[in-house]
Amino acid sequence: MKKSFIALLSLSVLFVACKKDSADESPVVIQGNGTIQDEIDAFRQLLGPLNSGAATNSGRREINWDAVPDNQLGKPLPNDFFNPTGPGALAA
C-alpha cells in the first residue's frame, strides 16, 4: 500500500511539474493562390533567418533543387552534390 501511494504521489508530482505554459500555440496557416511569392516570403520569415553556411540551432536552410543538372534527373545524386561534409553541411 505504501509503495502504491509513493508511486501515485510521484506520478502526480511529475504531471504537475510538467505543466505546459498557457501560451497561445495555435497553428499558423499561410495560404495563397496565383502569384504566391509573398506567401512564400511570409513562410520564410516564420522559419527564421537563412543559415546555409554555419552550424546553428535556429533558422532555416534551403536547397535549390533547380540546381540539379538535366543529366542527373531520375538518377540518385552523389552524396556530396549540394554540400560535402563541412560543419555547415546539410546532413552533417
pLDDT digits (tens, 9 = 90+) for 57-91: 777 877 777 878 888 888 988 777 776 555 555 55
CB proximity list for 89: less than 8 A, separation 6 or greater: 83
pTM over 0.85: no
Hey, CA dihedral for 89, 63, 26, 38, is it positive or negative?
A: positive
d(CA 36, CA 63): 19
What pLDDT does 88 receive?
Answer: 53
Q: What is the pLDDT of residue 52?
A: 67
pLDDT per residue as tens digits for the range 20-68: 666 667 888 999 999 999 999 999 999 888 876 666 677 787 777 787 8
